[in-house]
Amino acid sequence: MKPTLFAALALLATGAEASFDLMLIPGNDNRVYRYDPLNNVQLGSYGTQGSSNCVAADTRGISYTSTGTNSTQAIRYSTGEQVNMIQGSISARAHELMGNYVYVLTSAGVWRTHIQTGATTLASYGGTVALHSMAGYGNNLVILGTNTSNQISAINFDLSTLTFGSSVTTTFSVASSSILGKAAVVESPTAGNLSLLFTYNNGANAVATRMNLNASGQVTSASISSLTLSNFAVSGMMPGFMTGHGGGAWLFGRDNVGASHFRVTRIDPSAFGTPMEGETATFSAQGGAFQAGVYYSHAATVIAPEPGTMAALGLGAVALLRRKRR
Task: For the chain, state the CA radius of gyration.
Answer: 19
Q: 180-191: b or e for each residue (b if 16 or more CB lie within 10 Å)?
A: bbbbbbbebeee
Using one digit for the tens of pLDDT, what is the confidence trace for 53-112?
A: 778 888 789 998 876 666 778 899 999 999 888 765 566 788 899 999 989 888 889 989
Q: Is the pLDDT of residue 167 over 90?
A: yes
Is residue 81 a contact partner of residue 49, using CB atoms and an 8 Å limit? no
pLDDT on residue 318: 47
17 versus 19: which is more confidently predicted? 19
CATH number for the domain running over 20-304:
2.130.10.10
pLDDT on residue 15: 41
- What are the boundaries of each domain within the chain? 20-304
Dist. CA 155–CA 152, nearest whole Å: 10
pLDDT on residue 153: 96
Using one digit for the tens of pLDDT, what is the confidence trace for 202-238?
A: 988 999 999 999 999 999 999 999 999 989 988 878 8
Bin 30: left if φ > 0, else alpha if -120 < ψ < 50, else beta.
left
CA atoms within 13 A on the CB side of 169: 12
Q: Is the pLDDT of residue 10 over 80?
A: no
The sheet with strand 184-187 has its strands ordered as 184-187, 194-201, 206-213, 219-229
Which pTM value belongs to this model?
A: 0.85
Q: pLDDT confidence of 250, banded at 50, 70, 90?
A: very high
Dist. CA 109–CA 111, nearest whole Å: 7
CA dist 206 → 43, 76, 174, 188, 227 (Å): 28, 33, 11, 24, 9
